[in-house]
Structure 1
Amino acid sequence: MEATGLGRGSLYAAFGGKHQMYLEALDRYCLDYEESLDDALGGSDEGAYGRLQAYLANPEHCALQAGEYLVCMAGRSAMELGSCDVDVTSRVDRNFTVLESALREAIEAAQRAGDFDRDADAGDAATVILVLLKGIDIVARTGRSPEDLRPLVGAVMDRFATHRLAFA
């Protein structure tokens, strides 16, 4: 309201209602997030494991920023509205599917480079990492510190490493 100078009712009307405004905001969030994935995870096979590590340790993509929990809008939407709003559910499912696919592609690149267990199913590993990230989002909201949660990410990544790389 402050940025546009519009009142609440006028702002909702501009979007067709409060729900539609929420969906527009969710769409924008998901699109921005999805566009950031290629920059964060894409690239050559060499360095793919390091990109995965950096992505998982980056507070922009994970709830583990000291003193501030950055629960993603898609995850929060799923928790609060996913069971009762098909519009939200379809958007969040698409967002999670895009993330899972980007993780799988990075894992496959790390496997080709020899840094990720070649016997591991890349799709399953991507799902495990997705669930871990979203689970951390939820658990972080209970007040668990980043220091309590960060080792979980490292443990999962170490499980798949063919040689130990330092996890940030």
Structure 2
Amino acid sequence: MIHEIPGNANRFAHELNRQGYHQNEIDHLAKQFAKIKQDIYIKKYLPELELRPGVENILQEAVARKIPLGIVSTSHEPQIHALLANQLEKFHELFKVVMGKESGRKTENGGYLYSKCLEKLELQPENVLVIEDSEPGLEAAICANIPTAVFYNDYTFGSAFKGARLVAPDLSTFSLKSLEKICLN
């Protein structure tokens, strides 16, 4: 299924390949598409985005408890930083590690980016909780041996999420303490 391919540019390239475009042309068009999409997203859509329910409360609890924060994403790092600056300004500088496409493929190499994030934060996997929204992200976290809770979105709804410690539509009914009880024990 197309939603199993991480990243819009990758899905775009997949579709171009399916339609018979040559690889050089696919690479060129996908690169152009990614840049245009990123610019539009940062300038037009990102300022309009609403946080998913419960995100700010979980972050407030984590900050109050001095829990290190990190992000591993399939998005480009400028998009991640723009989102943090626009939607979570008071938390932006508290994310010690932000790893996006520029750091490598999140969903490849046996959870490498998650492992690298753990290394940078000087944490052990059993003491960390990953919050994911996609099956490929879940699989990457599991490869790094990190307990994972999945809060699916409209796009990933219906995925199997095999191996997740918790699967729910959003964070609104959870505290960080309750997530720890469910996922880390």
TM bucket, shorter chain:
0.3 to 0.5
What's the TM-score once normalised by structure 2's chain length? Answer: 0.33
Rg larger in structure: 1
Q: Hey, which of these two has a bigger chunk of helix by percent?
A: 1
Q: Hey, which of these two has a bigger chunk of strand by percent?
A: 2
Q: Which has the higher contact order (CA 8 A, sep 6+)?
A: 1
